[in-house]
Every structure is written in C-alpha cells, then in structure tokens.
Amino acid sequence: MQTTYFNVVSRMLGSLVLILALTLVGCHARPATYRGAEASADNPADWVAEDYWRRTGLDILAGDRPVTIAVLEFNVEYVKHKMTSLLGDKQAKLDAREFSIIGGGLTIVGIGRHEIRLDTGLKQQLPTELYGLLVKALADQGHRVVPVEAVSAAGGMSQLAGAAPGEGNMLMLLNIAGSDTGRVKQVEVYPAAGLKAIKGVTDKGESVEEVERQLLAELGADAGLRVQFRVGVYDAYASVESGSVIQLVLPASSDEPSGSTFESIRSVVSATPVVDQTEFKLLEGDVHTIDHDRYLAAIEQIVPPYVDLALVAMGRVVDEAAATPVHRRSPGPHR
C-alpha cells in the first residue's frame, strides 16, 4: 500500500514539475490590440513589420517595380479548439499538460480548453471578403492582380487537388507549441470563392511547386501568392493569429528554386468584444458563441494593417553591402 501511495504521489509531483518546467521555457507577450489607424499616430512605438512577420527565402517584391501577381490560393484557417495558460494571461511557448497526470485530468474536465463556435455562413463568406482586402492592398502599391476568374479557369488549376471546405489537420491534436493567443488544437480551413485549399496534385508525376510555376506562365504573372490567414478568438476578442502564412511563388523562368515564405509570429486582436456568450461545459471547457456581424466587422478592420505589415516585410530594401535588412516601419495597432 505504501509503495502504491508513493508511486501516485511521485507521478503527481512529476506532473507538476513537467508543467512548471515547460512554463519556465518561456511565455509569449500578449497579442497587440488594434484601435484604429487614427489612434496609431499617437503611439510612439509604431509597429515594425519584422516583429510580426518572419521571412525565409528570397525577396522578389523589393523595390518600387510594379509586378503582376496571381493569387493562387487564399484560405482562412479558423481556430475551432484551443488551450490557454492556467498561470495567467501570458501563454506558454511549450505546453504538454494533457500528457501528465494532473494536467491530463484538468484537460479532460475542460479546464483551460476553449471551443469557438462560428456560423458556417460566416466561415464561407470571410475568405472572399479578406481576399478582396488583399487585392486592394496590392493594387494600392501599384501591383496588378490577375482576376480570380482567370486563375480558376486556368488549365493548370485542374492539376491541383483541393481540400473540402472545413477540412483541418488532425495532427494538430498533438500540438504542444503555444502562441500568444494559446495553443491551437483543431482548425477548419475554408478557401475564397473560386479558389482551392491546395493539398496536393492530381498528377503524381509533378509537384505542387512545378504546377504553380506552370500556372504563372499560363497567366502571364511575375509572381504568385499562396495565402492562409489564421483567425480565432482571444478572451472575448476577434484575433488574426500568428501562424498565418503568405508564400511567394516564382515563375519557371527564374534561376531560383523557390520564392519567399512569410509566417506571422505575433497576433493582433480587436478592441471590441465579439463573443455573444461564453458557457463552461464539463468535458468541453469554455464554449464561445460568436456574434456574426461583430466578428466579421472586427476581422475586416484588423486584417488591412496586418496585410500592410506583411507587404512592408516583403518589399523591404536589402542593403547588399552590409547584407542586412533595412527595417521599415508601418503604422499599426497599439502594443
């Protein structure tokens, strides 16, 4: 009996040590709150694009030369389930509590778990709305965007396999990496009207990259974009979240094998709440019911400055002599 008691206590202490150890790895800063462009002028610490978007690869939008861009993919990834910190409002960078005895018990009960319920109509509508905002932002910089009708009608699009609307990645259930708005456990992906959520190719002899390059040639585009914005809820507020991705695709005539990938590393939340009701349910956690109109309006307000930050990062000037980027600032939300 004593041995059994000792084993139980040891495992419980081990669980606490695991939870604390992962917390000590570090926490993310709180996401920034966007309070409107008019408020940004009063903020001495304007947002720096590189604080929000991390770049790997090449930079093909550098300089002021307008280019023709084909948006080959535009998705919105909705966070359906997430877990948040039990130790305050700062979210841990690593969190594996459900794999420990104590943390697993709390998780099963529902403590720290969140389910975000969005209307299906909104999930279908928002990607097309945000696509329009991206096209406007590119046009404002002097770039030409190939119409979505031309992209969807291109012969190469038939070679790309698309996921069903609402499909997600089941492997995220094993995710232990946190973000500044919590740890994502389940998502649903919806494409903009006329486009596909690309998940592969129909002809196994070619790669997605090869088909995309052929598409750029067919459409007469200088570059392609594959975009996926991750959106959700943080506390009671709408959020455009870290983990959003913009990928630049180069044409086949380029000497380089690929373009650049920009991944957002900090989230932005709305200044006004969008949650209609939050109810804690045993075994489910906090279930958030969202107001459709307020959520749509909030996301559409947050995305333009978030896109502007990405475009600043894409178009930043590289000092070849020093081989270091020259940081440019973009007006944005309050920290």
Domain that holds residue 256: 31-80+114-273+293-325
Global confidence as pTM:
0.83
Domain count, the chain: 1
At 253 the pLDDT is 64
Q: Categorize the per-residue pLDDT at 310 as very low, low, confident or very high, splitting at 50, 70 and 90.
A: confident
DSSP 49: G
Please check whether residue 335 lies inside any domain of the structure: no
Residue 17 pLDDT > 80: no
Q: Using alpha carbons only, give the angle 115, 118, 122 rounded to the nearest 5 degrees.
A: 160
| Tokens 């694009």, located at residue | 49
**276-286 confidence digits (pLDDT tens):** 999 999 999 99
Q: Would you state the pLDDT for residue 4?
A: 56
* pLDDT class of 145 with cuts at 50, 70, 90: very high
The verdict on residue 49 lying in a domain is: yes
Question: Binning pLDDT at 50, 70 and 90, where does residue 61 land?
Answer: low
> Does 113 score more than 50 pLDDT?
yes
Question: For residue 50, what pLDDT is reported?
Answer: 79
Q: Which pLDDT score, from 0 to 100, does residue 318 have?
A: 25
CB 326 within 8 A of CB 318: yes
Residue 175, in any domain of the structure: yes
**Residue 273: pLDDT band by 50, 70, 90 thresholds?**
very high
Tell me whether residue 153 is in a domain: yes
pLDDT at 99: 84
Q: Is the pLDDT of residue 203 over 90?
A: no
Residue 107 lies in a domain: no
| Helices 2-24, 101-109: crossing angle, 10 deg rounding | 80
- Assigned domain for 156 exists: yes
- Among 52, 78, 63, 93, smallest CA distance to 246 is for 52
